[in-house]
Amino acid sequence: MSLPERQQRVLDQIEQTLQKADPGLRSMFAAFGQLAAREAAPGIEVISSRRAKIISIVVLSVLGALWLAVTVVATGNACPGLPSDQAVVSASVRYAACSHSTAAWSRGGR
């Protein structure tokens, strides 16, 4: 497999830097290469469509939670009905304060 010239130059620079930092690295790598040459290369892993869907759902859920957290932190306590120093407020109280609705209070939402 050949790499583009720019990537090969970067790899060569990394190799030179490592050789200068640790002169014994070349001999250790050569020993590793001899041992690894005897091993069979691992097969290609195939991800089932079910597993891919689960991974997608998990990733999207994490991203959604992160977006929600950033949005809440960025907007702060934007509802004028709530004091800014109140750290924990139930969802029904926050809704009532933001929408100026008294329905949440009358249903025992406190």
Domain ranges for the chain: 5-37, 47-76, 77-110
How far apart are alpha carbons 2 and 94 in whole angstroms?
60
pLDDT at 110: 47
- DSSP H/E element including 84: none
Question: pTM value?
Answer: 0.30
Least confident of 34-38, 39-43, 62-66, 73-77: 73-77
* Selected residue with higher pLDDT from 97 and 85: 97
- Crossing angle of helices 25-37 and 5-21, rounded to 10°: 120
pLDDT at 57: 93
Asked if the model's pLDDT at residue 69 lies above 60, the reply is yes
The model's pLDDT over 1-60, given as tens digits with 9 standing for 90+, comes to 678 899 999 999 998 888 888 888 888 888 888 888 888 877 787 777 888 888 999 999
Asked if the model's pLDDT at residue 71 lies above 90, the reply is no
